[in-house]
Amino acid sequence: MADRKLASIPALPGRGILAGLRTVHLVAVLPAIAAGLYFAFGTIALILLAAAAPVLALVISWPPDDADAGGSDRPVNPRARIESVIAARCVFPGRTTACLVVHADDLARLAEQLGPRAAEVISDTILERLSRALRTADTILRLDAANFAVVLAPAARFDLETMLQVAGRLQAAASEPVEVDATRVRPSLSVGFAQVDRVRRPGGAAVLSAAESAMLEARAAGAGSIRAYSAEMQVRRDTQFALQEEVRDALETGEIRAWFQPQISTDTGRVSGFEALARWHHPKRGMVAPGEFLPVIEAAGRMERLGQVMLVQALEALRAWDRAGHSVPSVGVNLSSAELADPALPRRIAWELDRFDLTPGRLTLEILESVISNAPDDIVVRNIAALAELGCGIDLDDFGTGNASITSIRRFAIRRIKIDRSFVARLDTDREQQRMVSAILTMCERLELGSVAEGVETPGEHAMLAQLGCGHVQGFGIARPMPFDDTGAWLSGHAASLTAPPSLGRKLG
């Protein structure tokens, strides 16, 4: 939704933009000019031409008067323009250049909250401020609504310290609040940069791609970060692209499977359900960490397909446990924002439940708190309401890490809160953690919501959660995620261990 809104914001040029065709033509004929001067005037002509090359670069980099005003009828291709600027500035002896790609953090969220027109105003303001912070001979161009490319005027050298200073100056220039419809927004920028001498086979496309790789690493590190391009970074990006190709096949060939982590009741100690978690056993690399392949699946646009695979495998497991005589009340699967945007989602889930002859109450759908707090989309609201009405349980996952309000919790018919691991760690020894969890559980009690604590790793954490009144727990302290084939033995062993009622329940009186 946010991407569609941002797509409606025009990508306009900034100042200091090179006319692409003019530059490419000059670079193309430069060897011929040099050869002619050599034959006509000798070596001295080449020396003079080399000395004048930086001046020529600045001259051809200056735009005609109508460059920013849309005086040309030719469509603006921002990537081609910026690549031609880089290519032109890479050819002069003794001079080099550098490229920065600047990303406006949270612009997609602001487009959702304030509308595309407000996001356009913010983007325009950032472009204007960045332009003012640059030298006259530097070049800036907006690649899209949230991303800006900067090419520095040729210089003898751009070292790391200089580039960090430039990136910091750009961040500072854009950081003042922007007034939009009586709302004050303080822009934050993530910056990636690439020095030409750090890029293998430097050219316009290669240097811009390197700066974009650095920007993506900066974004991954958190809003307001700065990253410099390195060869290792390119290796990681190439690996990610290769994984995108492999992950499409892995989803269809069964390499990506559902593993299951049990949840148990703190009152009875019995299994209250399992959560299905995606795991990838690569034929050559072995187990690939979820933190490595899940972003790749998302970048490849395959989250909906992953959701379908996990749902089917979870329901297959539930039916198999029933046939084996194991008592597993429900199984939980995670729903991504991409799945929740599909209008056919409730109908598809209802069809799968019917196909496996399972009642809706035995399926729990886990939705991230960040999805709930940033879900103005009517389709998302409609889908969650339809699934709750169908009878499926709705769990709010990673509670405490987002901005979900009590109103939104009631609005989305949440059945249970899943308390994030960050609140559970050291709960048995940290009084501040105990107060936080106690407050969450009091809210659950007042709103008549169930509770599940994630990431329970020690008996002390387990015991404290039970005493505070948390209904269910899961984590390595209970059991690690396991393939389906191992769940039967674990269920049998756990059932055998319940020879007496546990003493971990809440102490009354």
pLDDT at 16 over 50: no
**pLDDT for residue 73:** 43
Give the pLDDT confidence score for residue 2 in this predicted structure: 42
Give per-residue burial for 194-225: e unless 16+ CB within 10 Å, then b: bbbebbeebebebbbbbbbbbbbbbbeeeeeb
> Per residue in 292-351, pLDDT tens?
888 888 877 889 999 999 999 999 999 999 999 999 999 999 998 889 888 899 999 999
Helix (H) or strand (E) holding 100: strand 98-104
Buried b (16+ CB within 10 A) or exposed e, 18-54: bbbeebbebeeebeeeeeebeeeeeeebeeebeeebb
In the structure encoding, which two tokens stand for residue 294, read together? 């899940």
Q: Which of 49-58, 76-85, 305-314 has the lowest mean pLDDT?
A: 49-58
Q: What b/e sequence results for 448-473 when a residue is b if at least 16 CB atoms lie within 10 Å of its CB, and e otherwise?
A: ebbbbbbbbebeebbbbbbbbbbbbb
**What value does the CA radius of gyration of the chain take, rounded to a whole number of Å?**
29
pLDDT 10s digits, 454-504? 999 999 999 999 999 999 999 999 999 999 999 999 999 999 988 655 555
Give mean pLDDT, residues 108-135.
88
Per-residue pLDDT at 265: 96
pLDDT of residue 27: 46
Who wins on pLDDT, 243 or 442?
442
Residue 79 Cα distances to 149, 190, 194, 203, angstroms: 9, 19, 16, 13
Complete domains list, the chain, with CATH: 2-229 (3.30.70.270), 260-496 (3.20.20.450)
Which of 406, 336, 342, 339 shows the shortest CA–CA distance to 367? 336
User: In this structure, are residues 264 and 474 in contact, taking their beta carbons and an 8 Å threshold?
Assistant: yes
Task: Identify the top-confidence range among 44-48, 70-74, 380-384, 387-391.
Answer: 387-391
**Better pLDDT: 413 or 23:** 413
Mean pLDDT of 158-182: 90
Q: What is the pLDDT of residue 244?
A: 74
**Coil vs helix vs strand at 409:** helix
Q: Which structure tokens are listed for 403?
A: 């901005």
Alpha carbon of residue 1 to chain centroid: 15
Instruction: Give the pLDDT of residue 112.
Output: 73
CB atoms closer than 10 angstroms to residue 385: 15
What gap in Å lies between CA 427 and CA 452, rounded to an integer?
A: 15
With bands split at pLDDT 50, 70 and 90, how would you rate the model's confidence at 56? low
Name the pTM for this structure: 0.60
For residue 508, is pLDDT > 80?
no
Tell me, what's the pLDDT at 363?
Answer: 97
DSSP 196-262: GGGSSS--HHHHHHHHHHHHHHHHHH-TT-EEE--HHHHHHHHHHHHHHHHHHHHHHHT-EEEEEEE
* 506 pLDDT above the threshold of 80: no
**Spatial contact of 485 and 260, defined as CB atoms under 8 Å apart:** no
- Alpha helices, DSSP H only, in 115-185? 116-133, 160-174
How do beta strands 450-453 and 472-473 pair?
A: parallel
Average pLDDT, the chain: 82
Q: Please give the residue that has the higher pLDDT: either 115 or 421.
A: 421
- Write out pLDDT tens, residues 354-392: 999 999 999 999 998 767 665 555 788 889 989 999 999
